[in-house]
């Protein structure tokens, strides 16, 4: 391994011993940058990698809110402002009991390269809280979002840091946050938060963007092999907003999602989740209870396999893990490789453990695509939302979609070209890391050392 990368990895491990998710992503990204670092000895002289792995700023705060029984609840709040070399910090807010600093730092580090990969002027950041939105009333969600924003507002702004949603934080939560932000700053500064409802400064196409973008990316991967997406069968994990977008776009293009899953098990629907009734049901089911997808099987009379993941099923063309981090470990990866399915397209952030990812990449019969490229459509349309807010205009759904489509094609083709340029062949994972890294590095190199 390049000695500079090795040294930075060792230092990062020593400095952040209790942050496994963060170390996992740093290892994955840095090791794939070997040919770039070999070609640029000047980076070590200005401690570029050391600066890149250390967030520019970490904000941690207390969130106090009143529940419906008039008890005061206290949660932790986080915002990691990772790197703003390319533009204002941009990235989602995650509300989930699993949220801790390691997870927010891992997501922020990934986000920095993802946002760079879009080619748009945005830096990387991420935030969240250990607040559990499950089972909370509408009023509790609103009060929590207001309390969260009462602290966060002083750190964000349309030219500073522009949070959006992520797991457990959708348009409803973001728009409550925007309402509180507007009240506190006394200005209609829509661009400070993205993923808002369209009735309140949001962009058409934002809720579909991550799923649509993933399918546009998949189309390019298939085209590379001379294949059409029409008729393809997809197995995905998850049934949230991203999964729904994939189901919708796949249907529109003549493909179908025949497997999807929740924390309770997986569904096999051989006809595909492709009618408006089924798609609407997914949204309702998710809103009622994000922990169970079994009701779909009861409603539409198809198979539900409890407590299992659908990785390893043979009657599909593509796997798309779209739920959460580390869903696929080495054991599942072996099942995936044995199934003979060629395409493994990550959608959720870091859905694969590093050993599993390495193993899948080594399978000669497989093509592996990385989440930071595949799911970048979401943040891309968030940036388009900021652009509309700045111009005080609304674009049509078609205008937004056309731009999203172009961005996704660009991400794919620039990744392919970067890997080839460094003699790595058709390596979508390394290619994405290289493009993202190079853009951030280029900006940091000309902004001076700080």
Residue 53's alpha-carbon distances to 13, 49, 83, in angstroms, are: 11, 6, 9
Distance CA 360, CA 99 (A): 28
Residues numbered 301 to 360 that lie near ligand GLU (CB under 6 A) are: 349
Q: Given candidates 164, 246, 384, 428, which one binds ligand GLU under the rule CB under 6 A?
A: 164
Q: Given candidates 140, 166, 189, 208, which one binds ligand GLU under the rule CB under 6 A?
A: 166
Nearer to ligand GLU by Cβ, of 161 and 317: the residue is: 161
DSSP alpha helix (H) spans, 153-288: 171-185, 206-224, 241-252, 276-288
**Sheet strands side by side (includes 123-129):** 57-66, 72-83, 123-129, 89-95, 161-165
Q: Given candidates 23, 53, 333, 379, which one binds ligand GLU under the rule CB under 6 A?
A: 379
Q: Check if 126 is active-site.
A: yes
Q: Which helix (H) or strand (E) holds 126?
A: strand 123-129
Residues in binding contact with ligand GLU, number by CB under 6 A: 12
Q: Given candidates 87, 88, 92, 127, which one binds ligand GLU under the rule CB under 6 A?
A: 92
Supply 158's token pair.
């349309």
Residue written as token pair 């340029």: 421
Distance CA 6, CA 160 (A): 33
Cα end-to-end span (Å), the chain: 27
Nearer to ligand GLU by Cβ, of 222 and 429: the residue is: 429
Query: What is the closest distance, in whole angstroms, from the C-beta atom of residue 209 to ligand GLU in the complex?
Result: 8
Nearer to ligand GLU by Cβ, of 92 and 262: the residue is: 92
Query: What is the closest distance, in whole angstroms, from the C-beta atom of residue 383 to ligand GLU in the complex?
Result: 8
Residues numbered 226 to 265 that lie near ligand GLU (CB under 6 A) are: none
Supply 69's token pair.
């029984």
Site string for ligand GLU, 171-210 (x = CB under 6 A): -----------------------xx---------------
Query: What is the closest distance, in whole angstroms, from the C-beta atom of residue 349 to ligand GLU in the complex?
Result: 6
Supply 395's token pair.
């674009």
Cβ neighbours around 14 below 10 Å, total: 8
Query: What is the closest distance, in whole angstroms, from the C-beta atom of residue 425 to ligand GLU in the complex?
Result: 28
* Per-residue b or e along 101-139, where b marks 16 or more CB atoms closer than 10 Å to that residue's CB: bbbbbbbbbbbbbbbbbbbbebbbbbbbbbbebeebeee
Q: Given candidates 119, 170, 378, 436, which one binds ligand GLU under the rule CB under 6 A?
A: 378
Residue nearest to ligand GLU (CB): 92
Decide: 255 and 286 in contact? Cβ < 8 Å. no
Q: Which member of 90, 114, 126, 372 is catalytic? A: 126
Query: What is the closest distance, in whole angstroms, from the C-beta atom of residue 374 to ligand GLU in the complex?
Result: 11
Among 65, 94, 61, smallest CA distance to 76 is for 61
Q: Given candidates 24, 258, 382, 389, which one binds ligand GLU under the rule CB under 6 A?
A: 382
Check the CA dihedral 344-53-425-419 and report its sign: positive
Nearer to ligand GLU by Cβ, of 195 and 312: the residue is: 195
Query: What is the closest distance, in whole angstroms, from the C-beta atom of residue 334 to ligand GLU in the complex?
Result: 28
- Kindly list the catalytic residues: 126
Q: Where does this chain bind ligand GLU (CB under 6 A)?
A: 90-92, 111, 164, 166, 194-195, 349, 378-379, 382
């Amino acid at each position: 391994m390049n000695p500079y990368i090795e040294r930075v990895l060792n230092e990062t491990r020593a400095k952040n011993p209790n942050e496994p998710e963060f170390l996992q992503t740093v290892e994955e990204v840095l090791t794939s940058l070997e040919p770039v670092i070999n070609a640029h000895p000047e980076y070590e002289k200005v401690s570029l990698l050391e600066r890149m792995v250390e967030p520019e700023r970490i904000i941690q705060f207390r969130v106090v809110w009143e529940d419906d029984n008039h008890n005061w609840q206290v949660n932790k709040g986080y915002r990691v402002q990772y790197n703003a070399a390319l533009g204002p910090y941009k990235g989602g807010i995650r509300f989930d009991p699993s949220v801790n600093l390691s997870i927010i730092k891992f997501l922020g580090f990934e986000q920095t390269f993802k946002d760079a990969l879009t080619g748009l002027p945005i830096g990387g950041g991420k935030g969240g809280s250990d607040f559990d939105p499950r089972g909370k009333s509408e009023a509790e969600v609103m009060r929590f979002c207001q309390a969260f924003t009462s602290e966060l507002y002083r750190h964000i702004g349309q030219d500073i840091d522009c949070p959006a949603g992520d797991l457990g934080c959708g348009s409803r939560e973001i728009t409550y946050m925007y309402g509180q932000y507007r009240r506190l700053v006394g200005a209609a500064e829509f661009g400070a938060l993205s993923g808002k409802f369209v009735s309140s400064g949001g962009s058409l196409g934002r809720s579909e963007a991550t799923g649509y973008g993933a399918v546009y990316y998949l189309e390019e991967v298939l085209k590379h092999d001379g294949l059409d997406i029409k008729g393809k069968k997809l197995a995905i994990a998850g049934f949230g907003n991203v999964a729904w977008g994939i189901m919708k776009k796949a249907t529109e293009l003549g493909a179908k999602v025949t497997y999807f899953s929740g924390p309770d098990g997986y569904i096999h629907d051989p006809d595909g989740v492709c009618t408006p009734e089924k798609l609407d049901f997914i949204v309702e089911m998710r809103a009622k209870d994000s922990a169970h997808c079994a009701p779909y099987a009861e409603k539409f009379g198809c198979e539900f396999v409890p407590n299992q993941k659908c990785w390893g099923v043979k009657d599909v063309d593509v796997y798309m893990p779209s739920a959460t981090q580390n869903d696929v470990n080495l054991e599942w990866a072996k099942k995936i490789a044995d199934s003979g399915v060629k395409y493994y397209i990550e959608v959720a952030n870091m859905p694969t453990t590093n050993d599993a990812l390495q193993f899948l990449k080594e399978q000669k019969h497989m093509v592996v695509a990385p989440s930071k490229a595949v799911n970048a459509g979401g943040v891309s349309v968030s940036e388009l939302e900021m652009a509309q807010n700045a111009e005080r205009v609304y674009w049509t759904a078609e205008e937004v979609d056309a731009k999203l489509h172009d961005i996704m094609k660009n991400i794919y083709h620039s990744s392919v070209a970067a890997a080839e340029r460094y003699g790595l062949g058709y390596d979508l994972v390394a290619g994405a890391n290289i493009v993202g890294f190079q853009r951030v590095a280029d900006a940091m190199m000309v902004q001076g050392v700080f």
